Chains A and B, each alone.
Chain A
Amino acid sequence: MSQDNDSGSNGLQRRSLLKGTAAILATGIAPAIHAQDKPVLRYLGTAVNQDKEIADKFKADTGITIQYVAVTTDDVTKRAVTAPNSFDLLDTEYFSLKKIVPTGNLKGIDAKRVKNADKITSLFTRGEVAGKKVGDQGTAPKKVIFLEGEKSKAFAKAPTQWMSLIPTTYNADTLGIRPDLIKRPITTWAELLNPEFKGKASILNIPSIGIMDAAMVVESMGKYKYPDKGNMTKKEIDLTIATLIEAKKAGQFRSLWKDFNESVNLMASGEVVIQSMWSPAVTAVRTKGIACVYQPLKEGYRAWASGFGLPATLSGKKLDAAYEFINWFLDGWAGAYLNRQGYYSAVLETAKAKMEPYEWAYWMEGKPATQDIKSPHGDLLAKTGSVRDGGSYEQRMGGIACWNAVMDENDYMVQKWNEFVAA
Chain B
Amino acid sequence: MRTEGSLPTVPAWWQAGPFALVFLLFFLAPLALVLAVSFWNFNEYELLPAFSLRNYLRIFEGCLSLNERGDFCVTVATYLSTLKFCFLTWAATLVLGFAVAYFLAFHVRSPAMQTALFVLCTIPFWTSNVIRMVSWIPLLGRNGLVNQLLLEAHLVDRPVEWLLFSNFSVVLAFVHLYTMFMIVPIFNSMMRIDRSLLEAAGDAGASAWQALWNVVVPLSRTGILIGSIFVVTIVMGDFVTVGVMGGQQIASVGKIIQVQTSYLQFPLAAANAVILLAVVLMIIWSLTRMVDLRREL
Residues of chain A at the chain B interface (Cβ within 8 Å): 72, 74-75, 77-78, 81-82, 98-100, 102-103, 199, 205, 207, 245, 248, 253-258, 265, 269-271, 406, 410-411, 414-415, 417-419, 421-423
Write out the residue numbers on chain B whose beta carbons fall within 8 Å of the beta carbon of A245. 69
Instruction: Check if B251 sits within 8 Å of A207, measured CB to CB.
Output: no
| Max chain B C-beta neighbours (<10 A), residue from A78, A99, A411, A422 | A422
Given the known A-B contacts A74-B263, A406-B44, A423-B71, are A255 and B251 also in contact in the complex, defined by CB atoms under 8 Å?
no
Minimum distance in angstroms from A12 CB to a CB of chain B = 45
Say if the beta carbon of B127 comes within 8 Å of chain A: no
Do B249 and A418 touch across chains, with their CB atoms under 8 A apart? Answer: no
Which of B90-98, B202-210, B225-233, B252-260 lies at the interface? B252-260
Q: Give CA–CA (A46, B136) in the complex, Å.
A: 27
Contact of B45 (CB < 8 Å), options: A81, A205, A253, A256: A81
Q: What are 15 contact pairs spanning A and B, CB under 8 A? A: A72-B262, A77-B264, A78-B262, A78-B264, A81-B46, A103-B46, A245-B69, A253-B249, A255-B165, A257-B248, A271-B142, A271-B164, A415-B58, A418-B74, A422-B77
Majority-rule SS of A interface residues? helix
Contacts of A418 in B (CB 8 A): 74, 251, 256, 259
Q: Which residues of chain B come closer than 8 Å to A199, judged between CB atoms?
A: 161
* Contact assessment for A422 and B45 in the assembled complex, using a CB-CB cutoff below 8 Å: no
Residue of B nearest to A74 (CB): B262
Q: Does B247 contact A (CB under 8 A)?
A: yes
B288 CB–A CB distance under 8 Å: no
B38: CB under 8 A from chain A? no
Give complex CA distance A415, B243 in Å.
Answer: 18
- Tell me if B81 counts as interface (CB < 8 A to partner A): yes
A256-B248, A421-B251, A422-B78 given as contacts; is B262 within 8 A of A99 (CB)?
Answer: no
Partner of A75, one of B69, B142, B164, B262: B262
List the A side residues contacting B143 at CB < 8 Å: 269-271
- Residues on B facing A (Cβ under 8 Å): 44-46, 58, 69, 71, 74, 77-78, 81, 137-138, 141-143, 161, 164-165, 243, 247-251, 255-256, 259-265
How many angstroms between the C-alpha atoms of A256 and B244 in the bound complex? Answer: 9
Contacting residue for B44 out of A98, A253, A257, CB 8 A: A98
Task: Give the complex CA separation of A413 and B150 in angstroms.
Answer: 43
Q: How far is the CB of B141 from chain A (nearest CB, A)?
A: 6
Chain A residues near B45 (CB, 8 Å)? 81, 99-100, 102-103
Dominant SS at the B interface? loop
Knowing that A99-B45, A419-B74, A421-B249 are A-B contacts, what are 20 other residue pairs whose CB atoms are under 8 Å apart, sorted by A's residue number? A72-B262, A82-B264, A199-B161, A207-B259, A207-B263, A256-B248, A256-B249, A257-B248, A265-B137, A269-B137, A269-B138, A269-B142, A270-B142, A270-B143, A414-B265, A418-B259, A421-B248, A421-B250, A421-B259, A423-B69
Cβ of A253: which chain B residues have Cβ within 8 Å of it?
Answer: 247, 249
Chain B: minimal CB distance from A207 (Å): 7
> A residues within 8 A CB of B58?
415
CA distance in complex: A410, B44 (Å): 8
CB distance from B31 to the nearest CB of A (A): 20
A421 surroundings in chain B (CB, below 8 A): 248-251, 255, 259
Distance between Cα atoms of A98 and B165 in the complex (Å) = 35
In the assembly, what is the distance between CA of A98 and CA of B161, in Å?
Answer: 42
Most central of B46, B138, B164, B165 by chain A CB within 10 Å: B165
Question: In this complex, which of B58, B138, B247 has the most chain A Cβ atoms within 10 angstroms of its Cβ?
Answer: B247
Shortest Cβ distance from residue A406 to the other chain B in the assembled complex, whole angstroms: 7
How far, in whole Å, are A72 and B258 apart by their CA atoms in the complex?
Answer: 13
Minimal Cβ-Cβ distance residue in B for A206: B262
A136 to chain B, nearest CB (A): 21
Does A255 contact B44, Cβ atoms closer than 8 Å? no
Q: CB-CB < 8 A to B44: which residues of A?
A: 98-99, 102, 406, 410
Q: Tell me how far the C-beta of B136 lies from the nearest C-beta in chain A, rounded to whole angstroms.
A: 13
Query: Which of A99, A255, A419, A423 interacts with B264 by CB under 8 Å?
Result: A99
Give every chain A residue within 8 A of B256 (Cβ-Cβ): 418, 422
Bound-state Cα–Cα, A265 to B135, Å: 13
Interface centre among A103, A254, A415 (most CB of B within 10 A): A415
CB distance from B219 to the nearest CB of A (A): 42
Least Cβ distance of B48 to chain A in Å?
13
Min CB distance, B142 to chain A, in Å? 5
Chain A minimum-CB-distance residue to B59: A415
Contact B259 A414 (CB under 8 A): yes
**Neighbouring A residues of B251 by C-beta, 8 Å:** 418, 421-422
**What's the Cα separation between A77 and B261 when bound, in Å?**
11
